[in-house]
């Protein structure tokens, strides 16, 4: 099974929002009943116009099965090493444990290399122990403790 990727468009919002709300470790107030809420639409448009952002959907045999967002971050440290931040990695429950998540992350790593990044980084909720093992199997190292300050 081979995935293809394309930039998310407004008509993908119901799928994206539903996938977010079906997450077992839900930490947001996303509402699948309002997938075209003006804030979702504005956020997707902003992502689409920023050259350092890629909000993508993963497609398998014509069906949208996953999402991921890449953010390319220039920096001074490491002799100006650019980083790629991977977020919003979600795949439909029916398509999990079939190697598609690995394909998604490998695709993200390829994009990072093509953009000249020297590192790919991500965060994962502390409750997601299976996800932690998944990322470690792919070669990611637990290197930092993350913090958030909600506004």
CATH of the domain at 72: 3.40.630.30
How many domains does the structure of the chain reveal? Answer: 1
- In a domain, residue 150? The reply is no
In a domain, 65, yes or no: yes
Mean pLDDT confidence for 52-58: 98
The residue segments making up the domain with residue 43 are 4-137
Region 113-122: what's the mean pLDDT? Answer: 97
pLDDT at 27: 62
In a domain, 45, yes or no: yes
Assess if residue 27 is contained within a domain. yes
DSSP-derived 3-state class of residue 101: helix
57, 64 contact by CB (below 8 A): yes
The sheet with strand 53-60 has its strands ordered as: 4-7, 53-60, 63-73, 82-91, 117-122
Q: Is 118 exposed, middle or buried (0-12, 13-18, 19+ CB in 10 A)?
A: middle
Query: 113 pLDDT band (50/70/90 cuts)?
Result: very high
CB 65 within 8 A of CB 16: no
Answer whether 0.75 is exceeded by the pTM: yes
């Amino acid at each position: 099974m081979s995935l293809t990727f394309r930039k998310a468009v407004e008509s993908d919002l119901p799928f994206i929002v539903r996938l977010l709300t079906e997450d077992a470790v839900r930490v947001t107030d996303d509402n699948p009943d309002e997938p075209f809420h003006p804030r979702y639409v504005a956020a997707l448009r902003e992502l689409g116009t920023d050259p350092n952002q890629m909000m993508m959907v993963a497609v398998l045999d014509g069906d949208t099965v996953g999402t991921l967002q890449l953010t390319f971050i220039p920096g001074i440290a490491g002799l100006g090493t650019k980083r790629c931040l991977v977020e919003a990695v979600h795949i439909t429950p029916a398509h999990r444990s079939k190697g598609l998540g690995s394909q998604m992350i490998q695709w993200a790593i390829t994009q990072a290399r093509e953009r000249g990044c020297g590192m790919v980084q991500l965060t994962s909720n502390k409750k997601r122990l299976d996800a932690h093992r998944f990322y470690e199997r792919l070669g990611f190292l637990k290197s930092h403790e993350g913090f958030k300050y909600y506004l």
